[in-house]
């Protein structure tokens, strides 16, 4: 028995003192390992989020590549980039030139005998530039511009000459009063008024100063006439009438440039001659002879097409790297199998490979200019074939790449189209031509009309903007009065600020003031002033009308001379300008979408904020946000689980600690039991 009891006690003691039990539990380690298992869903979410972030980054790379491609396409979509012309002078020290559409290649022999120059005149000498001139009363300087004809010029002054005002030049006024009635003050007032004259003070080297006035424009019609109303001292200094009293001395005569172009005499008020040869501007530098050659400049067009091919290859290369699988590295692109990326690739290839609709003749396929699509989707360019196409028909190449519209009627202009305008031939019919607002006098003027303080003011409105003008005093023929009125009206600051202007004509002595604008908003109203009845009697008023007509048989809306196709038709958004001509059928507009325009529209849609790429990345971003919500929910659950584990293991630790205490007590008690010995 003794051995049995000893055996049981020994066994119990060994069990209670087993290592690792009791208050020595490593709760943090145990709970940490359990929570690592519980947290595995977070790792899955992290990997999923990383994958989505990688796709967003991939779409960012694709968007950047397509944006660069769009910039290249934009160059091709603009037809003006295919109308490059060069103008080269054999001797650029004599003349330089530029050429733009619609100039045609040609060679021009240029002979320059005289350059254009602006008139300049100077006042009598004044010792002190700050000395007061006159009594300081309000004085008005009125500047007119025109041509001096006949007579003789002696010591800077004309005798027996006449002055014909240029109606196309606005007249202007400058006010002099006690605040600026010095030579320096007059100079500053003239310059601040921007009336077409610059003023400066020049010392003649003898302690005397002269006011020098120079027309801001060159040409024979730049000669000045200055009427002074007010202080007699200022009038004595500045009044200038080439046909009458002249208080200024002319130092430089206004003159036109004289030249020949291929033997034909040409006169120009400016040294920049742009109205002699359509589309060509000659800038004259000095007298002499040389040749100017105008030729098609295909370099920029060729460079643009080469840039387009490279940009396509770069963009599709980026797309391919993101969507393909590399068998060598056994790695797939970040967008491998992505439906949106595949849709983009398909749309780009379709836009590139389709023929150009709406063109009845000419180039319709890229292959016709040496661009071919390779098996891998890249483009190759045959530069020799491209150069041949550019040299033989630059307009056809432009129509292949750019949006193009061509009217069959020379008085109809294609202005533009909208995204809904369909390619094809759109028929034009005009019902009413646009007209301008006008006011026509009822009184026939006599052969001469004297303008003085009794009939020198006129109040009027042009296109809804009011103005008041004062005519320079003098005696006028009907033609001269029309020119003076036109200059004075167009010199109004109020009208200039509103962009309104007029032309003034006379027929049989009856004056007519005509707005430069066309359409229903074009109006001219003569409302008052002491010249109203004297010059116009009871004027008749006619408001302008908008052009009206149809495009493809549907009524189009008119705005001045512009017709805009109605919505819902094949021509929706088409805009044309009807310059004149007859009522009725006016031919058509042949409109086509070039490859560049087609690709440009596609790329704009793809890259728009709510486009295919934007929609896809927004969806990916929403998925990432949802992962964030899931992560928050899991973290909340893990916090609860960890708290439960810690409570459970803390209770276990306390229980084991209690059991260890009991074990220690029992061990002590067992050790104190009497020994049982064998009898």
Say if residue 235 is in the same domain as residue 169. yes
Q: Does residue 5 carry a pLDDT above 60?
A: no
CB 656 within 8 A of CB 21: yes
pLDDT of 21: 43
pLDDT in tens, 215-250: 999 999 999 999 999 999 999 999 999 999 999 999
Q: Are residues 347 and 327 in the same domain?
A: yes
Considering the domain architecture, whether residues 376 and 410 belong to the same structural domain is answered as: no
From residue 263, give the alpha-carbon distance in Å to each of 112, 260, 289: 11, 5, 11
**Residues 322, 452 within the same domain:** no
At 21-35, the pLDDT tens digits run 456 778 888 888 988
Q: Does 355 lie in the same domain as 328?
A: yes
Q: For 585, which DSSP code?
A: E
Q: Are 417 and 552 contained in the same domain?
A: yes
In a domain, 65, yes or no: yes
The pLDDT of residue 14 is 36
Percent of the chain with pLDDT over 70: 95
Q: Is residue 679 part of a domain?
A: no
Verify that 376 and 355 share a domain, yes or no: yes
Same domain, 97 and 147: no
pLDDT range class, residue 6, cuts 50, 70, 90: very low
Which range of residues forms the domain containing residue 195?
A: 120-255
Tell whether the model's pLDDT for residue 300 goes beyond 90: no
Mean pLDDT of 74-99: 88
* Distance between CA atoms of residues 654 and 652, nearest Å: 5
Long-range Cβ pairs for the range 525-530 (8 Å, 24+): 525/439, 525/460, 525/461, 526/439, 526/458, 526/459, 526/460, 527/459, 527/460, 527/461, 527/466, 528/458, 528/459, 529/457, 529/458, 529/459, 529/460, 529/468, 529/469, 530/454, 530/455, 530/456, 530/457
Number of structural domains (the chain) is: 6
Task: Tell me, yes or no, whether 206 and 224 share the same domain.
Answer: yes
Question: Do 281 and 181 sit in the same domain of this protein?
Answer: no
Which among 143, 148, 183 is positioned nearest to 162, based on CA atoms?
148
Is position 612 within any domain? no
User: Does residue 80 form part of some domain?
Assistant: no
Task: Output the pTM of the full model.
Answer: 0.72
d(CA 364, CA 375): 21
Q: 395 lies in a domain?
A: yes
Q: Is 413 inside a domain boundary?
A: yes
Same domain assignment for residues 93 and 148:
no
In this structure, is residue 32 part of a structural domain? Answer: no
Per-residue pLDDT at 156: 95
pLDDT at 2 over 50: no
* Domain contains 642: yes
Which of these, 515, 537, 365, 382, lies nearest to 445 by C-alpha position?
Answer: 537
Q: Is the pLDDT of residue 3 over 60?
A: no
pLDDT-derived band at 20 (thresholds 50, 70, 90) equals: very low
Render pLDDT for 345-362 as a digit per residue (tens, 0 to 9).
999 988 888 788 766 666
Same domain, yes or no: 289 and 318:
no
């Amino acid at each position: 028995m003794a051995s049995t009891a000893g055996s049981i006690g020994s066994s119990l003691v060994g069990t209670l003192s087993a290592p690792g039990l009791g208050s020595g539990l490593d709760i943090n380690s145990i709970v940490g390992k359990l929570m690592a298992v519980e947290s595995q869903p977070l790792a899955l979410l992290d990997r999923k989020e990383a994958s989505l972030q990688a796709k967003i980054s991939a779409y960012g790379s694709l968007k950047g590549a397509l944006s660069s491609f769009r910039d290249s396409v934009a160059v091709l979509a603009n037809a003006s980039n295919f109308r490059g012309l060069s103008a080269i002078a054999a001797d650029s020290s004599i003349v330089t030139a530029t050429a733009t559409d619609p100039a045609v290649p040609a060679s021009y022999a240029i002979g320059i005998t005289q350059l254009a120059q602006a008139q300049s005149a100077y006042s009598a000498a004044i010792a002190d530039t700050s000395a007061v001139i006159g009594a300081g009363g309000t004085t008005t300087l009125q500047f007119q511009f025109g041509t001096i004809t006949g007579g003789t010029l002696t010591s800077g002054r004309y005798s027996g000459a006449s002055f014909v005002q240029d109606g196309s030049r606005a007249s202007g006024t400058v006010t002099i009063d006690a605040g600026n009635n010095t030579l320096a003050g007059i100079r500053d007032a003239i310059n601040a008024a921007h009336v077409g004259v610059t003023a400066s003070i020049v010392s003649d080297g003898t302690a005397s100063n002269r006011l020098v006035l120079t027309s801001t424009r060159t040409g024979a019609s730049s000669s000045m006439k200055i009427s002074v109303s007010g202080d007699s001292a200022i009038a004595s200094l500045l009044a200038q009438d080439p046909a009458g009293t002249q208080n200024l001395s002319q130092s430089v005569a206004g003159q036109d440039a004289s030249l020949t172009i291929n033997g034909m005499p040409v006169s120009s008020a400016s040294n920049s001659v742009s109205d002699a040869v359509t589309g060509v501007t000659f800038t004259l530098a000095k007298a002499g002879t040389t040749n100017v050659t105008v030729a098609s400049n295909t370099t920029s067009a060729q460079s643009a097409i080469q840039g387009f091919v490279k940009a396509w290859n770069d963009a599709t290369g980026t797309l391919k790297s993101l969507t393909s699988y590399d068998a060598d590295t056994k790695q797939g692109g970040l967008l491998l199998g992505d439906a949106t990326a595949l849709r983009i690739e398909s749309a780009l290839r379709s836009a590139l490979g389709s023929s150009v609709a709406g063109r009845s003749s000419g180039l319709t396929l890229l292959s016709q200019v040496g661009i071919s699509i390779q098996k891998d989707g890249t483009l190759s360019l045959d530069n020799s074939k491209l150069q041949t196409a550019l040299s033989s028909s630059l307009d056809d190449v432009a129509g292949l790449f750019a949006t193009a519209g061509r009217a069959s009627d020379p008085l109809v202009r294609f202005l533009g189209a909208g995204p809904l305008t369909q390619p094809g031939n759109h028929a034009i019919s005009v019902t009413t031509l646009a007209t301008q607002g006008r006011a026509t006098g009822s009184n026939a003027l006599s052969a001469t009309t004297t303008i003085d303080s009794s009939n020198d003011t006129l109040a009027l409105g042009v296109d809804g903007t009011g103005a008041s003008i004062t005519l320079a005093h003098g005696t006028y023929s009907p033609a001269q009065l029309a020119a003076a009125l036109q200059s004075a009206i167009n010199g109004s600051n109020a009208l200039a600020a509103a962009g309104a202007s007029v032309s003034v004509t006379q027929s049989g002595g009856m004056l007519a003031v005509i707005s430069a604008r066309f359409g229903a908003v074009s109006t001219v109203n003569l409302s008052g002033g002491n010249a109203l009845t004297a010059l116009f009697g009871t004027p008749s008023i006619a408001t302008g009308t908008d052009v009206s007509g149809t495009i493809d048989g549907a009524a189009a809306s008119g705005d001045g001379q512009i017709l805009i196709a109605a919505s819902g038709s094949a021509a929706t958004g088409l805009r044309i300008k009807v310059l004149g001509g007859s009522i009725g059928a006016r031919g058509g507009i042949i409109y086509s979408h070039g490859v560049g325009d087609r690709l440009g529209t596609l790329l704009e849609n793809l890259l728009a904020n709510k486009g295919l790429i934007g929609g896809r990345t927004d969806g990916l971003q929403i998925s990432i946000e949802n992962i964030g919500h899931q992560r928050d929910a899991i973290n909340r659950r893990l916090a609860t689980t960890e708290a439960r584990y810690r409570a459970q293991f803390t209770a276990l630790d306390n229980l084991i600690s209690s059991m260890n205490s009991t074990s220690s007590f029992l061990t002590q008690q067992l050790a104190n039991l009497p020994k049982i010995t064998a009898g």
